[in-house]
Amino acid sequence: MTLALLHVFIILSIRDYEASRSTNKYGSTSIIGYEQICNCVSATSDVCMQYSCTLSAQRASCFSGSSIITLADGTTKPLSHIQIGDKVLVNQQNIYEPILSFIHAKSDGLFSFLAIQIQSTKSNLSSTIFVSPNHLVFNFDSGKALFAGKFHVGDRVQFIDNNEIVPGEIVNIELTKQEGYYAPLTSSGTIVVNGVVASNYATVSNHELAHQVMGIYRWWIDLFGGSLLNEEIPWMLQIMLYVEQTLRWCSGLNLIDSYF
Protein backbone atom coordinates (compact mmCIF):
# COMPACT_ATOMS: atom_id res chain seq x y z
CA MET A 1 0.00 0.00 0.00
CA THR A 2 2.79 2.40 0.95
CA LEU A 3 4.63 1.55 -2.28
CA ALA A 4 1.56 2.26 -4.40
CA LEU A 5 0.89 5.55 -2.64
CA LEU A 6 4.49 6.63 -3.10
CA HIS A 7 4.39 5.84 -6.82
CA VAL A 8 1.19 7.89 -7.16
CA PHE A 9 2.81 10.71 -5.23
CA ILE A 10 5.83 10.64 -7.57
CA ILE A 11 3.61 10.86 -10.64
CA LEU A 12 1.58 13.72 -9.19
CA SER A 13 4.79 15.51 -8.23
CA ILE A 14 6.18 15.59 -11.77
CA ARG A 15 4.02 18.57 -12.75
CA ASP A 16 5.07 20.52 -9.65
CA TYR A 17 8.68 19.48 -10.23
CA GLU A 18 8.63 20.81 -13.78
CA ALA A 19 7.25 24.11 -12.48
CA SER A 20 10.15 24.35 -10.03
CA ARG A 21 12.82 24.02 -12.70
CA SER A 22 14.63 27.09 -14.01
CA THR A 23 16.60 27.65 -17.20
CA ASN A 24 19.73 29.78 -17.11
CA LYS A 25 21.21 31.79 -19.98
CA TYR A 26 23.25 28.77 -21.08
CA GLY A 27 20.14 26.64 -21.46
CA SER A 28 20.83 24.21 -18.60
CA THR A 29 18.15 23.45 -16.05
CA SER A 30 18.23 23.05 -12.30
CA ILE A 31 15.98 22.72 -9.28
CA ILE A 32 15.44 26.03 -7.58
CA GLY A 33 16.71 26.40 -4.04
CA TYR A 34 19.33 23.67 -3.61
CA GLU A 35 22.96 24.42 -2.84
CA GLN A 36 25.94 22.36 -1.73
CA ILE A 37 27.91 24.21 0.95
CA CYS A 38 30.22 22.55 3.48
CA ASN A 39 31.32 23.99 6.81
CA CYS A 40 33.44 22.49 9.56
CA VAL A 41 31.24 21.86 12.62
CA SER A 42 33.71 20.00 14.83
CA ALA A 43 37.45 20.64 15.05
CA THR A 44 40.23 19.33 17.28
CA SER A 45 43.71 20.87 17.23
CA ASP A 46 42.87 22.74 14.02
CA VAL A 47 41.83 19.45 12.33
CA CYS A 48 38.23 19.27 11.15
CA MET A 49 36.54 16.18 12.57
CA GLN A 50 33.25 16.59 10.70
CA TYR A 51 31.81 18.72 7.92
CA SER A 52 28.18 19.74 7.71
CA CYS A 53 26.95 19.99 4.13
CA THR A 54 23.77 21.14 2.50
CA LEU A 55 22.92 19.26 -0.66
CA SER A 56 22.33 20.30 -4.25
CA ALA A 57 21.10 18.22 -7.18
CA GLN A 58 22.67 20.40 -9.82
CA ARG A 59 26.08 20.41 -8.14
CA ALA A 60 26.31 16.70 -7.40
CA SER A 61 29.77 15.55 -8.45
CA CYS A 62 30.00 12.01 -7.00
CA PHE A 63 33.57 10.65 -7.50
CA SER A 64 36.71 12.30 -8.82
CA GLY A 65 38.31 11.17 -12.06
CA SER A 66 41.35 9.93 -10.12
CA SER A 67 39.25 7.45 -8.12
CA ILE A 68 40.58 3.89 -8.39
CA ILE A 69 38.31 1.12 -9.70
CA THR A 70 39.10 -2.62 -9.62
CA LEU A 71 38.46 -4.58 -12.82
CA ALA A 72 37.49 -8.24 -13.21
CA ASP A 73 41.03 -9.21 -14.29
CA GLY A 74 42.43 -7.87 -11.02
CA THR A 75 43.92 -4.71 -12.49
CA THR A 76 42.88 -1.21 -11.50
CA LYS A 77 42.08 1.93 -13.47
CA PRO A 78 41.29 5.53 -12.61
CA LEU A 79 37.59 6.19 -13.00
CA SER A 80 38.33 8.67 -15.78
CA HIS A 81 39.60 5.75 -17.91
CA ILE A 82 36.65 3.42 -17.25
CA GLN A 83 34.46 2.68 -20.26
CA ILE A 84 30.88 1.49 -20.59
CA GLY A 85 31.00 -2.31 -20.56
CA ASP A 86 34.05 -2.60 -18.29
CA LYS A 87 33.42 -5.16 -15.55
CA VAL A 88 34.17 -3.63 -12.15
CA LEU A 89 34.08 -4.75 -8.52
CA VAL A 90 30.74 -3.77 -6.99
CA ASN A 91 30.54 -5.30 -3.51
CA GLN A 92 32.12 -7.39 -0.79
CA GLN A 93 31.03 -10.70 -2.38
CA ASN A 94 33.78 -10.25 -4.98
CA ILE A 95 31.15 -9.72 -7.67
CA TYR A 96 31.97 -7.84 -10.87
CA GLU A 97 29.39 -6.12 -13.07
CA PRO A 98 29.64 -4.12 -16.29
CA ILE A 99 29.35 -0.35 -16.24
CA LEU A 100 25.95 0.31 -17.83
CA SER A 101 26.25 4.07 -18.15
CA PHE A 102 27.30 7.18 -16.29
CA ILE A 103 24.53 8.96 -14.41
CA HIS A 104 26.49 12.11 -15.09
CA ALA A 105 30.12 12.94 -15.76
CA LYS A 106 32.47 15.73 -16.73
CA SER A 107 36.08 15.06 -17.64
CA ASP A 108 37.54 18.55 -17.34
CA GLY A 109 37.53 21.17 -14.62
CA LEU A 110 38.27 21.21 -10.90
CA PHE A 111 35.48 20.25 -8.50
CA SER A 112 35.10 20.10 -4.73
CA PHE A 113 35.24 16.75 -2.95
CA LEU A 114 35.61 15.40 0.54
CA ALA A 115 38.91 13.53 0.84
CA ILE A 116 38.04 10.80 3.35
CA GLN A 117 41.07 8.87 4.57
CA ILE A 118 40.28 5.33 5.68
CA GLN A 119 42.35 2.81 7.63
CA SER A 120 41.54 -0.91 7.68
CA THR A 121 40.99 -2.25 11.21
CA LYS A 122 42.40 -5.63 10.13
CA SER A 123 45.71 -4.60 8.52
CA ASN A 124 47.89 -1.64 7.58
CA LEU A 125 45.91 -1.10 4.38
CA SER A 126 44.67 2.46 3.97
CA SER A 127 42.97 4.45 1.24
CA THR A 128 41.50 7.85 0.47
CA ILE A 129 38.20 8.24 -1.35
CA PHE A 130 37.35 11.53 -3.09
CA VAL A 131 33.58 11.84 -2.97
CA SER A 132 30.99 14.60 -3.01
CA PRO A 133 29.23 15.23 0.33
CA ASN A 134 25.84 14.23 -1.08
CA HIS A 135 26.94 10.83 -2.40
CA LEU A 136 25.88 7.68 -0.54
CA VAL A 137 28.56 5.51 1.12
CA PHE A 138 27.84 2.36 3.12
CA ASN A 139 28.32 2.50 6.87
CA PHE A 140 29.88 -0.68 8.28
CA ASP A 141 28.05 -0.76 11.60
CA SER A 142 24.52 0.00 10.39
CA GLY A 143 24.87 -1.45 6.90
CA LYS A 144 22.99 1.57 5.58
CA ALA A 145 24.09 4.01 2.91
CA LEU A 146 24.63 7.51 4.30
CA PHE A 147 25.60 10.79 2.70
CA ALA A 148 29.39 11.11 2.75
CA GLY A 149 28.98 14.50 4.40
CA LYS A 150 27.31 12.82 7.40
CA PHE A 151 30.40 10.80 8.32
CA HIS A 152 32.95 12.06 10.81
CA VAL A 153 36.36 10.94 12.06
CA GLY A 154 36.02 7.66 13.96
CA ASP A 155 33.07 6.36 11.94
CA ARG A 156 33.51 3.08 10.06
CA VAL A 157 32.67 2.39 6.42
CA GLN A 158 32.51 -0.87 4.48
CA PHE A 159 36.07 -1.45 3.27
CA ILE A 160 37.52 -4.23 1.11
CA ASP A 161 40.69 -5.76 2.54
CA ASN A 162 42.09 -8.98 1.05
CA ASN A 163 38.79 -9.74 -0.73
CA GLU A 164 36.67 -9.46 2.39
CA ILE A 165 34.57 -6.75 3.96
CA VAL A 166 36.12 -5.19 7.06
CA PRO A 167 35.52 -2.05 9.10
CA GLY A 168 37.39 0.86 7.57
CA GLU A 169 37.88 3.56 10.17
CA ILE A 170 37.79 7.17 9.01
CA VAL A 171 40.96 8.83 10.29
CA ASN A 172 40.80 12.17 8.49
CA ILE A 173 38.42 14.28 6.39
CA GLU A 174 39.46 17.26 4.30
CA LEU A 175 37.95 19.42 1.59
CA THR A 176 39.89 19.29 -1.66
CA LYS A 177 39.72 19.99 -5.39
CA GLN A 178 40.07 17.21 -7.96
CA GLU A 179 39.90 16.97 -11.75
CA GLY A 180 36.60 15.83 -13.26
CA TYR A 181 33.63 14.02 -11.78
CA TYR A 182 32.01 10.69 -12.63
CA ALA A 183 28.93 8.80 -11.41
CA PRO A 184 29.06 5.24 -12.81
CA LEU A 185 25.95 3.06 -12.93
CA THR A 186 25.90 -0.73 -12.39
CA SER A 187 23.11 -3.30 -12.23
CA SER A 188 23.33 -3.67 -8.45
CA GLY A 189 23.53 0.07 -7.81
CA THR A 190 26.82 -0.30 -5.94
CA ILE A 191 30.51 0.03 -6.79
CA VAL A 192 33.80 -0.29 -4.92
CA VAL A 193 35.81 2.94 -5.15
CA ASN A 194 39.30 3.04 -3.64
CA GLY A 195 38.33 -0.03 -1.64
CA VAL A 196 35.17 1.56 -0.22
CA VAL A 197 31.72 0.12 -0.93
CA ALA A 198 29.61 2.98 -2.25
CA SER A 199 26.22 3.50 -3.82
CA ASN A 200 25.78 4.67 -7.40
CA TYR A 201 23.45 7.38 -6.13
CA ALA A 202 23.58 10.85 -4.66
CA THR A 203 21.16 13.60 -3.54
CA VAL A 204 18.42 11.09 -2.56
CA SER A 205 19.02 9.80 0.97
CA ASN A 206 17.52 6.31 0.53
CA HIS A 207 19.71 3.99 -1.57
CA GLU A 208 17.05 1.28 -2.00
CA LEU A 209 14.42 3.76 -3.11
CA ALA A 210 16.79 5.43 -5.57
CA HIS A 211 17.77 2.01 -6.94
CA GLN A 212 14.15 1.05 -7.53
CA VAL A 213 13.35 4.30 -9.31
CA MET A 214 16.49 4.01 -11.43
CA GLY A 215 15.13 0.73 -12.77
CA ILE A 216 13.30 2.93 -15.29
CA TYR A 217 16.63 4.41 -16.37
CA ARG A 218 18.19 0.96 -16.71
CA TRP A 219 15.27 -0.08 -18.93
CA TRP A 220 15.96 3.01 -21.06
CA ILE A 221 19.66 2.05 -21.28
CA ASP A 222 18.73 -1.47 -22.41
CA LEU A 223 16.80 0.06 -25.29
CA PHE A 224 19.01 2.97 -26.33
CA GLY A 225 22.41 2.42 -24.71
CA GLY A 226 24.30 4.23 -21.97
CA SER A 227 25.82 7.69 -21.84
CA LEU A 228 29.44 8.51 -20.98
CA LEU A 229 29.58 12.28 -20.63
CA ASN A 230 26.30 13.80 -19.49
CA GLU A 231 26.66 16.69 -17.05
CA GLU A 232 23.00 16.66 -15.99
CA ILE A 233 21.74 13.95 -13.62
CA PRO A 234 18.75 11.92 -14.95
CA TRP A 235 15.34 13.49 -14.49
CA MET A 236 14.19 10.44 -12.45
CA LEU A 237 16.68 11.23 -9.69
CA GLN A 238 15.88 14.94 -9.84
CA ILE A 239 12.20 14.11 -9.39
CA MET A 240 13.04 11.78 -6.48
CA LEU A 241 14.97 14.60 -4.82
CA TYR A 242 12.01 16.90 -5.29
CA VAL A 243 9.62 14.27 -3.88
CA GLU A 244 11.85 13.59 -0.89
CA GLN A 245 12.22 17.27 -0.07
CA THR A 246 8.44 17.66 -0.34
CA LEU A 247 7.87 14.70 1.98
CA ARG A 248 10.31 16.17 4.49
CA TRP A 249 8.45 19.48 4.32
CA CYS A 250 5.21 17.58 4.94
CA SER A 251 6.79 15.78 7.94
CA GLY A 252 6.90 12.58 5.91
CA LEU A 253 10.53 11.72 6.64
CA ASN A 254 9.53 8.39 8.22
CA LEU A 255 7.94 7.28 4.95
CA ILE A 256 11.30 7.59 3.22
CA ASP A 257 13.41 6.16 6.04
CA SER A 258 11.17 3.16 6.75
CA TYR A 259 10.35 2.41 3.10
CA PHE A 260 12.50 -0.74 3.15
Asked if pLDDT for residue 211 goes beyond 70, the answer is yes
> What predicted TM-score, i.e. pTM, was given to this entire model?
0.72
Asked if pLDDT for residue 204 goes beyond 50, the answer is yes
Distance CA 37, CA 21 (A): 20
State mean pLDDT over 41-53.
70
Architecture of domain 34-233: Beta Complex (2.170)
pLDDT value of position 35: 44
Asked if pLDDT for residue 26 goes beyond 50, the answer is no
Short-list 188, 190, 53, 68, CA closest to 113: 53
Asked if pLDDT for residue 132 goes beyond 90, the answer is yes
- Identify the DSSP state of 61: -
State mean pLDDT over 45-57.
61
Contact 135, 57 (CB under 8 A): no
Confidence band, pLDDT 50/70/90 cuts, at residue 231: low
Residues 136-148: tens digit of each pLDDT? 999 999 999 999 9
Using DSSP's 3-state secondary structure scheme, residue 63 falls into: strand
Q: What does the domain layout of the chain look like in residue ranges?
A: 34-233
Confidence band, pLDDT 50/70/90 cuts, at residue 247: low
